[in-house]
Amino acid sequence: MSAFNAILVASDGSEHSLRAVEVAGRMAASDNTPLYVVNVIRDMQFPQALSRMAEVERLVGTRSDVLKYVADKILKDAAQVAKKAGAKTVEQVTTSGDPATAIVESARDKGADLIVLGTRGLGGVAGALLGSVSRKVSNLADQNVLIVR
């Protein structure tokens, strides 16, 4: 019997997150657990009055096309790493919003009872051991959380 119903691993494309994907891939492989790889596109915040300007609307549209493209590429690479580590069933999930909140919600949606993350990500502020997303996920989640060093 599998230790987990399903595993969800979060990737922002960083080296740290790809190490987490590798570990999650190996875990999924060992007992044939479904694996979800998720990338969260961060919300952009600006005053509402600005978002109603036609020019801003057009630029925001272009920006989200680019971000969607990048998210797809990050997930494709992550899925490849997971499969190379032996995972059989890998599903890619793109979502948006606050990364930590969206990661926890995706896990709930997919019925994943283990969330796997890297210690750090693309932010890379020197000194701190944990990034804000891994810290917030471990605070928010009622699922198990594995932070890969």
Ligand X SMILES: Nc1ncnc2c1ncn2[C@@H]1O[C@H](COP(=O)(O)OP(=O)(O)OP(=O)(O)O)[C@@H](O)[C@H]1O
Binding residues (CB under 6 A) for ligand X: these are 10-12, 14, 16-17, 20, 38-40, 99, 117-118, 120-125, 131-134
Q: Nearest residue to ligand X, using CB?
A: 131
Task: Report, in Å, the least distance between residue 141 CB and ligand X.
Answer: 12
When the beta carbons of 13 and 86 are compared against Mg ion, the nearer one is: 13
Strand partners, 90: 35
When the beta carbons of 29 and 130 are compared against ligand X, the nearer one is: 130
What count of Cα atoms within 13 Å lies in the side-chain half-sphere of residue 115?
31
| By CB under 5 A, residue 121 contacts Mg ion | yes
The strand ranges marked E within the chain are: 7-10, 35-42, 90-97, 114-118, 144-148
Task: Please report, in angstroms and rounded to a whole number, the separation of the first and last CA atoms in the chain.
Answer: 27
Decide if 148 contacts 19 (C-beta within 8 A): yes
Binding mask 47-76 for Mg ion (x = CB under 5 A): ------------------------------
Task: Report, in Å, the least distance between residue 90 CB and ligand X.
Answer: 15
Dihedral, CA of residue 109, residue 83, residue 30 and residue 27, to nearest 10:
-50
When the beta carbons of 25 and 131 are compared against ligand X, the nearer one is: 131
Task: Report, in Å, the least distance between residue 49 CB and ligand X.
Answer: 27
